[in-house]
Structure 1
Amino acid sequence: MTADAPQLRPRGRSATATDVVGILEPARYPLVSVAVAVIAVVVITGVGFLLGTVDLGLSKALNTLHTGALGAFTDAVYHVISPAPAIGITVVVVAVIWWRSRDLRPALAFGGTIAITWVPSAVVKEIVHRARPDVAVLPHPFAVQPDPGYPSGHTVYITAFVIALVWLLRDSRWHRTVLVAGTAAIVVVFFAVSIDAVHYPTDAAASILWSLAVAPGVRVVWVDWLMPRIPFLRKPVGGRAVRS
């Protein structure tokens, strides 16, 4: 770490394993993170124009699994992290972070990192305009989705959510558990959208790469550069001290 993490504990309270400060720690190489994010956006967008139906056969093969209990499960996963529920989940977690840390900064750092990583992917989706797998050739098609499919917003969201949560709990005893469980959640969403065939597998894979590459740059811009310029976010709410 290049600097001590901000002190989020009320004075007089000893450090505990549940203190959440990791997402506020300044990046070691901020310009590199931002440059990687910009390059990733350009490259992932460009690749989207070249994919066509290259993995339609794999989509059809995975869609054969969309039956019975597995099909019901993948449908549920898709609905649970659709945009409206995903926004609701994020708002609830942001509120819990604020309540738990008694500091608005980690809460807004968490929510902002997710939102600013996630929302631009919807713009790229409209630019690339890659069609979703053709329901006419799928053995067990899902309901027709009206918007293009590349990248997968569901997969961008869950990956960004996991990344932000791992950063948030980086200095806690829950870090390893969240990392393992979060990785499993990303894999589950990848296969859920692929088995439902609402996305090509390459849509979902590109989405994971998007969040992995873009989120660190987003965190630098939002948390390290912009948040300190907002007066009420310059120090913890309530006037608690910040170590330097």
Structure 2
Amino acid sequence: MELPPRPKLFDFHGVSMTHYFTDNWENIQNFQARPDDILIATYPKAGTTWVSYILDLLYFGQTAPERQTSLPIYERVPFLESDFHIIPPGTELADKLSTSPRLIKTHLPVQLVPKSFWEQNCRIVYVARNAKDNAVSYFHFDRMNQAHPEPGDWNNFLQRFMDGKMVFGSWYDHVTGWWEKKQTHSKILYLFYEDMVEDTGRELDRLCSFLGLSPSAEEKERVRGGVKFDNMKKNSMANCSTDPVMDFKISPFMRKGVCVCLCARERMRERNKH
């Protein structure tokens, strides 16, 4: 299948976007959420697929195990605002979901989320990642993602990242906008990527508590094993290798899964022991 041409960045309601995320805007804004929908929200490359896979395993790993080997993650957890023209738009994929709850992902800043998610008081899981790791991961993502503009060299990319001239806008505005919304909306769980790396089990417990789930210790261990980075990277239904807008000849979608800041923290702890 021929990959789509690289798009141009433009201002859209004060946020930098490409047409692949605005062409279907009327249907996005009119999307009808359901009370039991769970929205997974992140800035790009902040752990979206990881949390999506965790939730899919928690809800359907035992009741519908065939999903794990027959449907790629982007069909199990549709990307709401996407419209790549070579697969159905995210709103259509979400509307066709037969699961309850429906798991839906978005990279939209909080002010652009369809109003029905607030009206239906849906649960929302937001994941934030530190700017340094997020920028590096985003750079390599843009190298292989045909739905984003060419990233250029690292220095120019980093400057654009700091200026907020990225698809889905400013990292700072995104993470702070959702943090501020959390203060007034009780059904937002705000997670940090670094915490998930440091202690996946602890954050899994937080997720379960937020969602009202009580999996057995055996079930939680099965989920933890399934979502380990190396396991997901080798899993064609989780690593986005079947996504037609991703060019794996340039870079894998899942690269290293490490946190520079977390590694630095661990090195500091080791030094302090001596």
**TM-score after normalising by structure 2:** 0.25
Q: Which has the higher strand share?
A: 2
Q: Which has the higher helix share?
A: 1
Higher-Rg structure is: 1
Asked which structure has the greater RCO (Cα within 8 Å, sep 6+), the reply is 1
